Structure 1
Amino acid sequence: MNDFQIALRTVQVTRYVTPLREGGSMPAIAEADDGFLYALKFRGAGQGPRALIAELIGGEIARILGLRVPELVFANLDEAFGRTEPDEEIQDLLKASVGLNLALHYLSGAITFDPTVTQVDAKLASQIVWLDCFLTNMDRTCRNTNMLLWHKELWLIDHGAALYFHHSWDKWEEQARKPFVLVKDHVLLAWATALDQVHEEFRAILNPEKIAAVIDLIPDEWLEENSNFHSKEEHRKAYARFLEIRLAHSDIFLKEAQHAREILI
């Protein structure tokens, strides 16, 4: 039995407020039955449930490692929701997203992190770079930092582009051992001078039990039919195994990050 457990709240979406058209997946600001606003990610969007799985895994792994991530909740969308939405594209998206979706607590008043305005200290920069190498998150660049400043603190959002191996599952065990070459484009790489220290600290925090607790959160309905797996449980365990292998071979992506930083500087 795993003594380390994580629980996410489930909310009922009550009102579609406005689309967030910055991303290709058309997330939206929505209100839930708890009275809070959320940035809602739809299972019916382009990348389907896989983007939600990456968001869930990335956000909760980051939280375990002590980084700031808005609260993640399961957001249930009723079949009748959105019937009065005048925008046909949005109405189609809502119809395709009936059931469980994923939402992040909306940080009202937050501003997008701008590396030309705000400098990040070496330890925090190194933590975020390490996390993104571990998750193979390609989407933390100068063009799209996916970080917010809220109450003078840095918050991580949008991990939907992480774990890109799962869009094909081709040689996924081999992929788990590969360096993350896209780290060269990471917005915080220049400041990440404490990678060795962070590497040791994070390896001491993460373990198979904590990884399993995160993977256990994935709803069955998000695990699509896949010829690589005989069951949803086998599919779920493959995610855990990928992260376990990657953690065991983290020296590989650490060295790649350090090499990329040497070239950059």
Structure 2
Amino acid sequence: MGTVGTILYYIHWNPSVGIGPFRWYGLCWLIGFAVAYLLVQRLYREQKIKEELFEPLFLYCFLGILIGARLGHCIFYEPDYFLTSGKGIVEMFLPIRFLADGGWKFIGYEGLASHGGTLGLIIALWLYVRKTKLGIWTVLDNIAIATGSMACFIRLGNLMNSEIIGKVTDVPWAFIFERVDMMPRHPGQLYEAIAYAILFFLMWWLHKRKPEKIGTGWYFGFCLTYIFTFRFFIEYTKEIQEAFEASLPLDMGQILSIPFILLGVVCMFRKGQRR
């Protein structure tokens, strides 16, 4: 069968941009955050941690992830644009784009990097435990147990937006992202979403069987190791996001994943006691 005939069997992907004024990515991001929030709240209750110590967690996590993800994208993926002018620096923090005629328009945060979001979350949680006096490893482990759920929804948002697309392929489950081109490509966003859903169910099952490990850093380490090891290898199926990555031996996603993998392994095997 010829190429045209084969393409008919691929999944043609061109969903609506959202529901009313709400974009799919923003909706998926908020749903994932809300689900993770409720899961961590349940974990706090299981561990009999006071409700007033949980209440500020939402704000710390929200700001940490958003600011970290935004700065991560601007610094690691588009430094030539955002770090070379005053307007670029303003656009790093505000969801606007300056126009050639001197005006500006609201565009939302079009660039968010998961590595930056992870680093921002870790810093935010460090500030949170300084305020609440909770054990840092207990907080990190609780967040890690719920992380897979949010990560899954974020990648589903990328899929709905037809962004972070995969390389051209002839696998029978290839997606044709019609907003991009008419080439069959790996649905890398879907690969990641499935992997993160598996991570969540695995972590939830493990914490039920091994609750005594919460507070040792093991769950946090396992989460980092799982996510970023998978992220390292899945990058081989994805298109590079910025042109400069073509000259690198590894793409930026892989380079940034390595320190998180190493940190995860260290946390898993550290000889820490539950606090």
**TM-score under structure 1 length normalisation:** 0.31
In terms of fraction of residues, the more helix-rich structure is 2
Structure showing greater Rg: 2
More strand by percentage: 1
Q: When the two structures are superposed, what TM-score results if normalisation uses the length of structure 2?
A: 0.31
